[in-house]
A = this chain, B = another copy of it.
């Protein structure tokens, strides 16, 4: 007999920066949801107390959910939505017309899934040099500068130190940082943009040992824009276990549905079936594993994969095209939302 409970389910620090994943079962916060065509925009405002409860930072978290940014029509709708979200956030945190940003592209330009930040910055309209050279600047533009600091693995320097040094020399009024994130759900990879005024811990999704980039540490407002582009094997497996439960719940409910019997298994679309199995059924389907909580399952899978070296962080094989589109999207949305009227 194996007794699962001899296994130590000590807390496993989940690799994710997406606020919505942290608070999926959490109630005590202000939450607002809008739709623009197929795109969902969710705004969560955490005050000091609710933030504390989920070990997150106080502030505004805006999440844009979309389906496929490489489709041309979606792209334009998404550009519209992202621009509006950025403008709203700039207003919410009281950025004035004469406030000038430093835009920072975090991540490693030479690792495709991590290149979102650098590639976005490549297409930002930079204007600070015009002013520095004593030339007249079209009044519709802010004074905008940018920085691609690289990653500690290739520079040997904490990202935060480089940013801090440049802020001291160039005195921007606020910071916008763009970074690729790790997702804790298959559903969100390359399909979510999170925009927040709470800053970022570079590498907190992917690695550790980096320093926070935020208003608290840098002294000026920090807007962080992130898109999850990688996911770890543990997440893929634990997500799939949940889908197995939902799948069986759907099949069970439709077991006497003669129409469905004509549909091949691969096409039985239970995407909108949001019920799952009950505790007893889960145990029947998945044995001891079915008896564990979601968190416990994740911990177990991490313990299974890590010693083998297989808890890989992976990215979809089309990542080159996706990153190209998403960085173009963010740079266009930033250029538009920073323009003055």
Contact = CB atoms under 8 A, between A and B. Distances in A.
Interface in A211-253: 230-231, 233, 236-237, 239-240, 243-244, 247-248, 251-252
Interface residues of A, number: 97
A178 interface: no
Interface stretch (A56-64, A85-93, A139-147, A192-200): A139-147
Interface in A135-172: 143-148, 150, 152-158, 161-162, 164-170
A314 B233 CA distance: 10
Dominant SS among interface residues on chain A? helix
A171 to B, nearest CB: 10
A281 to B, nearest CB: 6
A182 to B, nearest CB: 9
Given A126-B155, A161-B169, A310 B186 contact: yes
A112 B156 contact: no
A304 B243 contact: yes
A148 B150 contact: yes
A8 interface: yes
Contacts of A255: 6
Interface string A1-31: 1101011101000000000000000000000
6 contacts: A7-B265, A127-B156, A157-B166, A168-B168, A189-B312, A240-B304
Given A111-B321, A129-B155, 16 more contacts: A6-B255, A10-B265, A112-B112, A114-B317, A128-B156, A129-B153, A143-B156, A168-B168, A230-B317, A233-B240, A244-B301, A244-B304, A247-B304, A269-B307, A284-B287, A314-B316
